[in-house]
């Protein structure tokens, strides 16, 4: 599938409370050197609510694109930490933003944002004109604060993209949009990373690490092959921000240098569905992508799920 569409806005939200590695050292049997060496994380943000963070990021994306919220046809909220079982957290975000159209939550864990992005382009192909895609999670809220194996990694945040239907050439002919994607899940690995109702996250870190490198590489390669794009034609690689060592290993195997890879996890920790839009928005704000550039997003997470999207960037010039 190849679908035209223009990313006309992007936004982010991080809670104000910063937790540094030194703060964790003070209450856990851990230290800054271990956390930095094993994960690349130096500090993370915690607090707020999923709907509050999602609303802030979504509002920023709408304002940046100059879009009337009432003209949005669909809100897709990727989250694995919904505020309630019923109703979907997206209903609250939809109301807070004054959106038109429908809204639903999507849970594909840390791959959720890329899953939602692919669905958003699919929605455009049904005739919708504007889809707001938000990844928002509060993984700190389901992490055992006394478990050093997970408490140093997981944190909170949100990121959003507004995608609009666009005419012109198809993405295969150089137009903006979703050029190709790859998506999958291996439910036999269900028990490697899970959180029951009213419980805490449990993770087999080493096995998740091993699989994460493999699926990121395979999935990103599948998306590039589908798009007929080679690694040297990727302007920006935006991987899920779980561990710097996973990102470095995957980027190296893909043949994409780190100076073309987006990194925010040193300041955000692992924010699950928020991590890819947080990294993409920072790179876009820094002017690291321009019209016609190829962006390769690749996520993996509990399930185990994975998804990659090769998008041709063409920010609307209304800003
Ligand atoms: O987004 C969802 C996907 N999640 C991930 O991608 C996470 C994937 N896994 C990882 O990122 C890494 O496996 C971790 C960062 C979780 C752990 O790094 P590691 O290099 O795989 O360490 P390890 O689990 O093999 O543990 C090495 C040692 C152990 O001690 P022993 O058994 O060697 O005595 C751990 O108990 O490090 C110990 N350890 C710690 N030490 C200090 C575990 N956590 C900590 C800690 N501080 N916070």
Predicted confidence at residue 3, as pLDDT, reads 85
For residue 117, report the phi and psi dihedrals to the nearest 5 degrees: -65, -45
Predicted confidence at residue 1, as pLDDT, reads 61
Strands 130-138 and 156-164: antiparallel
- Mean pLDDT by groups of 10 residues along the chain of 319 residues: 88 98 97 98 98 98 97 98 98 98 98 98 96 98 96 98 89 90 98 96 97 98 97 98 98 98 98 98 96 96 98 69
Tokens 């028990």 identify what position? 191
Predicted confidence at residue 318, as pLDDT, reads 43
Cross-strand pairs, 103: 75
> Can you tell me which atom of ligand 1 is nearest the CA of 149?
44
Contacts of 198 (CB under 8 A, 6+ apart): none
Q: Which residue, by CA, sits nearest to atom 12 of ligand 1? A: 205
For ligand 1, pick from 149, 240, 265 the residue to mutate: most ligand atoms within 8 Å of CB.
149
**252: its two tokens:** 């190296």
Predicted confidence at residue 172, as pLDDT, reads 82
Q: Using CB atoms within 10 Å of the CB of residue 97, give its burial: 0 to 12 exposed, 13 to 18 middle, 19+ buried.
A: buried
Q: What is the DSSP letter of 268?
A: H
At 63, is the secondary structure helix, strand, or coil?
helix
Decide if 129 is catalytic. Answer: no
Predicted confidence at residue 317, as pLDDT, reads 45
Predicted confidence at residue 319, as pLDDT, reads 39
Whether the CB-CB separation of 7 and 162 falls below 8 Å is answered with yes
Decide if 110 is catalytic. Answer: yes
């Amino acid at each position: 599938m190849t679908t035209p569409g223009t990313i006309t806005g992007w936004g982010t939200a991080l809670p104000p409370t910063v937790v540094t590695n030194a703060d964790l050292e003070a209450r856990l049997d851990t230290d800054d050197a271990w956390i930095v060496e094993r994960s690349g994380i130096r500090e993370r943000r915690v607090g707020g609510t999923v709907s509050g963070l999602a609303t802030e990021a979504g509002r920023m994306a709408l304002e940046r694109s100059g879009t009337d919220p009432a003209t949005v046809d669909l809100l897709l909220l990727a989250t694995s930490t919904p505020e309630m079982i019923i109703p979907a957290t997206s209903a609250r975000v939809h109301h807070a933003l004054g959106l038109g159209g429908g809204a639903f939550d999507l849970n594909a864990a840390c791959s959720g944002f890329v899953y939602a992005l692919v669905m958003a382009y699919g929605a455009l192909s049904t005739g919708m004109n504007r889809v707001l895609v938000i990844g928002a999670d509060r993984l700190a809220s389901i992490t055992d604060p006394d478990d050093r194996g997970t408490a140093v990694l997981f944190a909170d945040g949100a990121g959003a993209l507004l995608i609009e239907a666009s005419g012109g050439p198809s993405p295969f002919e150089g137009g903006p949009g979703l050029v190709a994607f790859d998506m999958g899940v291996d439910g036999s690995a269900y028990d490697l990373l899970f959180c029951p109702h009213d419980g805490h996250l449990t993770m087999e870190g080493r096995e998740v690490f091993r699989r994460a490198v493999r699926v990121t590489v395979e999935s990103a390669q599948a998306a590039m092959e589908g798009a007929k794009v080679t690694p040297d034609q990727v302007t920006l690689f935006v991987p899920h921000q779980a561990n710097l060592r996973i990102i470095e290993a995957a980027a190296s195997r893909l043949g994409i240098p780190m100076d073309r890879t987006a990194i925010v996890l040193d300041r955000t920790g692992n924010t699950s569905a928020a991590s890819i839009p947080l990294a993409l928005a920072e790179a876009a704000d820094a002017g690291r992508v321009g019209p016609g550039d190829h962006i390769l997003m690749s996520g993996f997470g509990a399930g185990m799920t994975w998804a990659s999207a090769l998008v041709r960037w063409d920010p609307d010039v209304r800003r």
